[in-house]
Amino acid sequence: MKKLLELFFTFAKIGLFTFGGGYAMLPLIERTCVEKKKWITGDEMTNITVLAESTPGPVAINCSTYVGNKQKGFIGALFATLGMVTPSFIIILAISFFLERFMEVKWVAGAFYGIKLAVAILIIDAAIRMFRKLEKKPLTYILAAFAFAAMMAIDIASVRISSVVIMLICATVSLIVYLAKRNKKKEESK
């Protein structure tokens, strides 16, 4: 029980003190879980980063689940993840209760007029950062360009096609290209 509470409060602290989402948390998770608590090794931290990038869902949740599971199995994962989300859950819940009324204040509405413009820039910046991390090969560029065009078309025409459909198309194309290359290699080696 003591270990479970330690997991809960350690991740609550990480969740409470990092701004800007999951990727911003990785350095603090590393410092806390690898260096201070020695719950995982540096190699495992690298594994977590790969795992978080290759699986869906919030990066922070991938991390807390991994470390919690490593320490105390399923129940450990549960406590670590609950710790991770509890602080922001309480904060956002509190904000949601007064946000609508707050928005009616004239200067607040003015501030959010400006903020709205900044948010579009932040989203574009997130895409640029992710683009830089991609493997540099033609297929990557083709898929990214296709997804951009498809998503734009969906938005402009406001048709109800989920972006999930685009993701599944790209995953399938990428897999087919890989399989085709592998078959070619096999035949050449025969």
Partner 1 sequence: MIYLELFLGFLKVGAFAFGGGYGAIPLIRETAVAYGWLDDERLSDMIAISESTPGPIAVNLATYVGSAQGGVLGALIATTATILPAFLIVIILMNLLKNVIKNEGVKSAIDGIKACVVGIILATGAYMAFNNIFFVSAETVFDWKALAITAALALIYFGSRKIKKQGISPILLIVIAGVTGVLVNL
Q: Give, as ranges, the residues between 57 and 96 that touch partner 1 (CB under 8 A).
A: 57-62, 65-66, 69-70, 74, 77, 81, 84-85, 87-89, 91-93, 95-96
Closer to partner 1 by Cβ: residue 41 or 172: 172
Comparison of 1 and 121: residue with beta carbon closer to partner 1: 121
Shortest distance, CB of residue 153 to partner 1, whole angstroms?
A: 9
**Choices 1-9, 33-41, 50-58 (CB under 8 A): range interacting with partner 1:** 50-58
Residue 10 Cβ, how far from partner 1 at the closest point, in Å? 15
Which residue number, 9 or 97, has a Cβ lying nearer to partner 1?
Answer: 97
Query: Using CB atoms within 10 A of its CB, is residue 77 exposed (0-12), middle (13-18) or buried (19+)?
Result: buried
Would you say 174 and 143 are in contact if contact means Cβ atoms under 8 Å apart? yes
DSSP class of residue 35?
Answer: I
Dihedral, 101, 107, 113, 118 alpha carbons, nearest 10: -110
The Cα angle at residue 127 between residues 123 and 131, in degrees rounded to 5:
170
Binding piece for partner 1, criterion CB under 8 A, among 2-10, 30-38, 111-119: 111-119
The structure tokens 């990092």 sit at 18
What is the end-to-end Cα distance of the chain in Å, rounded?
Answer: 59
CA 128 to CA 113: how far, in whole Å?
24
Closest approach of partner 1 to the CB of residue 154, in Å: 8
Tell me: does residue 164 bind partner 1 (CB under 8 A).
yes
Which of 35/178 has CB closer to partner 1? 178
